[in-house]
A and B are shown apart, each in its own frame.
Chain A
Amino acid sequence: MAINVPAETIAEVSLAPARRAWIAAAIKFTRQRPIGALGAAIILVMAAVASLAGVLAPYDPLATDYGGMLAPPSATHWLGTDAFGRDVLSRIVYGSRTALLVGFGASVLGATLGVFVGVASAYFGGRVDLLVQRVMDIFLSFPLIVLALAVVVILGTGVLNVTLAIMVPMIPRCALVVRSSALAIREMPYVEAARAAGFGHARIIFRHMLPNVMAPYLIMLTAFLGQAILLEASLSFLGLGVQEPTAAWGLMLRGAAVEFAEAAPWMALFPGLAISLGVFGFSLFGDSLRDALDPKLRTL
C-alpha cells in the first residue's frame, strides 16, 4: 500500500535533524566558549554590514560635499565627515566589504594552496619534501609584511594585487603546519591500504589525506583572516594597497587623517576602531575554534 506523504513534510523531516544538530552545536559552542561566540557574533555582524552596505550606509561613500568638510559627528553625519566631506560612517560600512573581500580572498586562497603544498610535500616525502620545505623556509624567513610589500611592489596596487600579495606569505605558514599533521596521516593503515590497493597519488591525497587535515586548515584559515584584514589595512595605510576613492579602512587612516589628527580625530578614530574590532573578532573566534577542534585541548 502506497503512503502519500506531502513533499513539504519530507523536506521538513529530512532537514529538521540537520538544522537541530547545527543549532545544538552552536549553543554548545556558545556555552563552552563564550569568548569565541562573541568573536563569531562580531564576524557575523561584519558580514551582515558588508552584504547590506547599500541599505545600511546613509550616504554614497564616494559622494563629496565640499561645504561639509571635516564636520564633527552630528545627527546628520553620525561619525563625522572626512577632508572631502565624505560621510565617515558610510565609508566604514563600505570599507567592511573591502576588508572581508581581501581578507577572505587572501586567507582562503593562501590557506588552500598551503594545504595542497603541505600535504603533497608530506605525502611524496624524500627529495620532493626536502626541496619544498627549503623553498618554504626561504619564504618564512621574511616577515609577513615585508613579503607582502615585496609582492605588491612587483604586482602593483589594487584590490586583486593586494589580495595576492597577502596570500603569498600565507602559503608557507599553512603548508608548514599542515605538513606536520599530514606526515602522521601518511603512516596511517588506511593510507597504506589505499596504496596497496593501487590507488593513484591524486586519489590518496584528495580522498584520504586532505579530509583529515581539515582541522588545522580551518584553524589556520580563521587565524589568517584577522591577519589578512590587518595586513590589507597596513598596506592601504602605506599607500600600497587599495587606492582612493575606494572605501577601505586602512586608507581612511592615511593622508588628511594624519594631518588633521588633532582637528578632526574622528577621521582616524572610527576606522581604527573598525579595524581593531574586525581583527579582534577573528582572533577570538580562531582561538576558540582551535581549542574546540584540537583533541588534546578538548580533553583538558
Chain B
Amino acid sequence: MAYLLSRLRGVGALAFLPVLIVGVVLPSPVMGQDKPRYGGELIFPVPSEPPSYDGHREETFGLIHPIAPFYNTLLRVDPRDPSGTKPIGDLAESWTVARDGLTYTFKLHKGVKFHDGSEMTSKDVKASYDKIIFPPPGVGSSRKGQYEVVEALEAPDPSTVRFHLKWPTASFLASLASPWNFIYKADILVKDIHWYETHVMGTGPFTFVEHVKGSHLVGKKNPTYWDKGKPYLDGFRAIFISSSSAQVAAIRGERAHIQFRGFGPADRNSLKASLGDKITVQESPWDCILLGAINHNKKPFDDKRVRRALTLALDRYEGSKALSKIAIVKEVAGVQVPGTPYATPPEELAKLAGYGKDINAARDEARYLLKEAGAEKLSFTFKNRGIPMPYEPLAIWMIDQWRRVGLNVKQEVIEAAAYYSVLRKGDFEVAMDFQCGYIVEPDLDIYKFISTDKNPANYGAYTDRVLDDLYVKQSRATDYEERKKYIRQFEKRVLDAEAHYLMTLQWHRIIPHSSKVKGWQITPSHYLNNQLDAVWLSE
C-alpha cells in the first residue's frame, strides 16, 4: 500500500493514467475504532512561544502548535498516515495535473468561511501563495526557496486555483502540503500585508479567543466550520512551559493532556510508571537527524580517507540500542527517514561505509585509512551546539567511537545563539549539524548536501557537481523507480564514496499522552497534525 501511495505521489505515476488524474479527498479521518465524543477542552504545553502569528514567516513549532488550529491549508499531510508523506486535500476538494506535469489545477471546497463570516475563495488562496512565493520587499517568507519551480499562479474562477511550473517535479504536491502555508484573507493582505503577524483570523476548526504572553493561548470551537461535524473539541488551551520537567509534571498531574513535540525516554518511562493505563505512548522515527559536518577546507579533512575513517568508526547499531534508552534518537538511517517510500532498506544500507554489521572490520579499515592518510592519532576539536538533548549524548558517543580508532577528540560546546555563525564562518574542523523537515520528501531532505555554492547551509563547504546533477535528476524524475535510483546514487556518494557528511542516528519522537486523547496520530514531523479537527477526548 505504501508503495502504491508513493507511486501515486509522482507526476510520472499520474501520467500513466489515460485521463487527467483527480485527487480524491477522503473523508477526514478519526483514528481508532471508537465513536468520537463531542466536548471538552484539550490542554497541551508548548515548550516555546510564537515569535509572531505569521506561519509564512516563522520556522518554529512554537507557532505551529498553538496557531495551526485556526487555519486551513490548500493541501495537508494525511493525519492518518504514520509515515507523514501522503498529501491530501484540505481546502482543495480535488486536483488535476496536466500531462506535461507543468500545470496543477485545484478545485476548492465551497461554503468555506473565514472566522469573520466572509467567504473564502480562490482569490484568498492566490493572495496567500503570492505572499509565500513572491513576497514583496520587507515581507519575510521562510520557505519561498522551496517554490522556485512555480512560474505563476492564477485564480480563473472563485473555486479554482492553478499553478504553472517551470519544470515538472515529483515533490510539488508534498510542498503544497506544508503545514506553514496558512490561507489568509486576500482583502486583509491588500490593506496590510503584515496584519497576520499580529492577528489571527483563518478558516480553521477553532477561532481565536486570547493569548496571554508567557502564559497561555486559547481557541474555541468554530461553530460554522466547513467540514461538517468537526471539530469534536469545545476548544483548546496551549500553555507555554519551557521547562521539560514542568511539562512532564503537568502531564503527570493530569493538568495537561499531551505535548506535541516529544519527551525523552526517561520521561516516557516515568510517566508510564506513575500513570499506567492512563498514559498512551506513541512513537515514531522523527524527520530530524544530527549530522557530522566535516570541514573540507581544513586539513586533513579534505582527504576522503580521513572522512571515511570518521564514519567507519561509528557503531551505529550498538549506538542505536544504547542511546535510545537515554536520548531522543533511535533508528539507523541514510538520507531518508526509515520506513518512508524512498528510504534505503536496511540490507542495502548495510553496504555503505559505517553501516556494516561487522564493526571490528570497519574499525580496522578506519585505522588503515588513517594510517595511509598520515592521520594516525589525529587530534581535533569537535564543536557542538549548546542544546542538551540530543546534542550532548550524541557528542559523547561520537567522541567515544572515534577514540576507539585512536583519534583524540576534544569537545567544545558553543552557545546555541552563536553556533551558526561559527558554522557559517567555517571556524571548525568537525561540527554537529542537523537536518529537520516538515514532510518526508527527498527534495527537501537532501537539499542540505548539494554544493555549498548552491546551498550555503552545507557547512562541509564542498563542491561536488556530480551530487548537484543527481539532485536535479531525482527532483525532475517523474517515475518512482527512476527517482529512487538517483536518490540511492546520491546517498552512496554523499555518505560512502566521498563521505562528505556523516549521519548519526535518526531522532525518535516519543509522545506520551493522556489516554483520553483520541484521534491523533504521531508522524515523523512535530510540525504536522496540529489542526486538531479530528482530535477528541474520551471523557
Q: Do the beta carbons of B326 and A69 come within 8 Å of each other?
A: yes
Q: How far is the CA of A157 from the CA of B410 in the complex (A)?
A: 11
Q: Which residue of B lies closest to A244 (CB)?
A: B396
- Given A66-B321, A69-B325: A245 and B412 interface contact (C-beta under 8 Å): no
- Given A69-B326, A259-B266: A156 and B412 interface contact (C-beta under 8 Å): yes
Q: Do the beta carbons of A255 and B412 come within 8 Å of each other?
A: no
Binds A, one of B154-162, B211-219, B386-394: B386-394
Provide a sorted-by-A list of 13 A–B residue pairs whose CB atoms are within 8 angstroms: A64-B400, A66-B318, A69-B325, A84-B393, A84-B396, A157-B413, A158-B412, A243-B411, A244-B392, A244-B411, A254-B388, A260-B266, A263-B270
Interfacial chain B residues near A254, Cβ < 8 Å: 388
Q: Do the beta carbons of B326 and A157 come within 8 Å of each other?
A: no
Q: How far is the CA of A260 from the CA of B265 in the complex (A)?
A: 10
Shortest beta-carbon distance, A165 to chain B, in Å?
Answer: 14
Shortest beta-carbon distance, B82 to chain A, in Å?
Answer: 27
Interface membership of A239, Cβ < 8 A: yes
Shortest beta-carbon distance, A194 to chain B, in Å?
Answer: 50
Q: Do the beta carbons of B396 and A259 come within 8 Å of each other?
A: no
Interfacial chain A residues near B414, Cβ < 8 Å: 156
Interface membership of B176, Cβ < 8 A: no
Q: How far is the CA of A6 from the CA of B267 in the complex (A)?
A: 74
Cβ contacts A55-83/B at 8 Å (1 or 0 each): 00000001010100110000000000001
Interfacial chain B residues near A84, Cβ < 8 Å: 322, 393, 396-397, 400
Name the residue among A64, A69, A254 with the largest chain B CB count within 10 angstroms: A64
Listed from nearest, the 6 A-B pairs whose CB atoms lie closest are A66-B322, A259-B266, A83-B326, A243-B411, A64-B400, A244-B396
- Given contacts A70-B325, A153-B415, A157-B413, 10 further A-B pairs with CB under 8 A are A64-B397, A66-B321, A69-B325, A69-B326, A157-B412, A239-B386, A243-B413, A244-B392, A256-B393, A259-B326
Q: How far is the CA of A245 from the CA of B319 in the complex (A)?
A: 16
Interfacial chain A residues near B485, Cβ < 8 Å: none
Name the residue among A69, A153, A156, A256 with the largest chain B CB count within 10 angstroms: A256
Q: Do the beta carbons of B388 and A239 come within 8 Å of each other?
A: yes
Q: Which residue of A lies closest to B325 (CB)?
A: A69
Interface membership of A262, Cβ < 8 A: yes
Shortest beta-carbon distance, B512 to chain A, in Å?
Answer: 14
Q: Which residue of B lies closest to A153 (CB)?
A: B415
Q: How far is the CA of A62 from the CA of B392 in the complex (A)?
A: 15
Q: Do the beta carbons of A262 and B270 come within 8 Å of each other?
A: yes
Restricting to B195-227, which residues have a CB under 8 Å from any CB of A? Answer: none
Interfacial chain B residues near A245, Cβ < 8 Å: 396, 399-400, 411
Q: How far is the CA of A256 from the CA of B396 in the complex (A)?
A: 12
Restricting to B380-433, which residues have a CB under 8 Å from any CB of A? Answer: 386, 388, 392-393, 395-397, 399-400, 403, 410-415
Q: Do the beta carbons of B403 and A62 come within 8 Å of each other?
A: yes
**Which B residues have a C-beta under 8 Å from some C-beta of A?**
264, 266-267, 269-270, 318-319, 321-322, 325-326, 386, 388, 392-393, 395-397, 399-400, 403, 410-415
Interfacial chain A residues near B322, Cβ < 8 Å: 66, 69, 84-85
Q: Which residue of A lies closest to B315 (CB)?
A: A66
Cβ contacts A243-269/B at 8 Å (1 or 0 each): 111000000001110011011000000
Q: Do the beta carbons of B400 and A263 come within 8 Å of each other?
A: no
Q: How far is the CA of A80 from the CA of B412 in the complex (A)?
A: 27
Q: Do the beta carbons of B269 and A256 come within 8 Å of each other?
A: no
Q: Do the beta carbons of B266 and A255 come within 8 Å of each other?
A: no
Restricting to A220-255, which residues have a CB under 8 Å from any CB of B? Answer: 239, 243-245, 254-255
Q: Which residue of A lies closest to B267 (CB)?
A: A259
Q: How far is the CA of A64 from the CA of B395 in the complex (A)?
A: 13
- Given A245-B396, A245-B400, A255-B392: A239 and B264 interface contact (C-beta under 8 Å): no
Restricting to A156-198, which residues have a CB under 8 Å from any CB of B? Answer: 156-158
Shortest beta-carbon distance, B442 to chain A, in Å?
Answer: 32
Interfacial chain B residues near A69, Cβ < 8 Å: 322, 325-326
Cβ contacts A143-162/B at 8 Å (1 or 0 each): 00000000001001110000
Interfacial chain B residues near A62, Cβ < 8 Å: 400, 403
Q: How far is the CA of A158 from the CA of B399 in the complex (A)?
A: 16
Among candidates B269, B386, B395, B415, residue contacting A244 with C-beta atoms closer than 8 Å? B395
Q: How far is the CA of A243 from the CA of B411 in the complex (A)?
A: 6
Q: How far is the CA of A254 from the CA of B266 in the complex (A)?
A: 14
Q: How far is the CA of A156 from the CA of B326 in the complex (A)?
A: 27
Interfacial chain A residues near B412, Cβ < 8 Å: 156-158, 243
Interfacial chain B residues near A256, Cβ < 8 Å: 266, 326, 393
Q: How far is the CA of A255 from the CA of B269 in the complex (A)?
A: 16
Q: Do the beta carbons of B264 and A259 come within 8 Å of each other?
A: yes
Among candidates B393, B410, B411, residue contacting A83 with C-beta atoms closer than 8 Å? B393
Shortest beta-carbon distance, A146 to chain B, in Å?
Answer: 16
Interfacial chain A residues near B318, Cβ < 8 Å: 66
Q: Which residue of A lies closest to B387 (CB)?
A: A239
Shortest beta-carbon distance, A292 to chain B, in Å?
Answer: 42
Interfacial chain A residues near B393, Cβ < 8 Å: 83-84, 255-256
Interfacial chain B residues near A85, Cβ < 8 Å: 322
Interfacial chain A residues near B269, Cβ < 8 Å: 263
Q: How far is the CA of A244 from the CA of B413 in the complex (A)?
A: 9
Q: How far is the CA of A85 from the CA of B397 in the complex (A)?
A: 11
Q: Do the beta carbons of B266 and A263 come within 8 Å of each other?
A: yes
Q: Which residue of A lies closest to B326 (CB)?
A: A83
Q: How far is the CA of A267 from the CA of B20 in the complex (A)?
A: 63
Shortest beta-carbon distance, A254 to chain B, in Å?
Answer: 8
Q: Which residue of A lies closest to B270 (CB)?
A: A262
Q: How far is the CA of A69 from the CA of B458 in the complex (A)?
A: 35
Q: How far is the CA of A256 from the CA of B399 in the complex (A)?
A: 17
Q: Which residue of B lies closest to A66 (CB)?
A: B322
Interfacial chain A residues near B267, Cβ < 8 Å: 259
Shortest beta-carbon distance, B32 to chain A, in Å?
Answer: 31
Shortest beta-carbon distance, B506 to chain A, in Å?
Answer: 18
Interfacial chain B residues near A255, Cβ < 8 Å: 388, 392-393
Q: How far is the CA of A245 from the CA of B409 in the complex (A)?
A: 9
Interfacial chain A residues near B411, Cβ < 8 Å: 243-245
Q: How far is the CA of A245 from the CA of B410 in the complex (A)?
A: 8
Interfacial chain B residues near A263, Cβ < 8 Å: 266, 269-270
Q: Which residue of B lies closest to A158 (CB)?
A: B412
Shortest beta-carbon distance, A13 to chain B, in Å?
Answer: 51
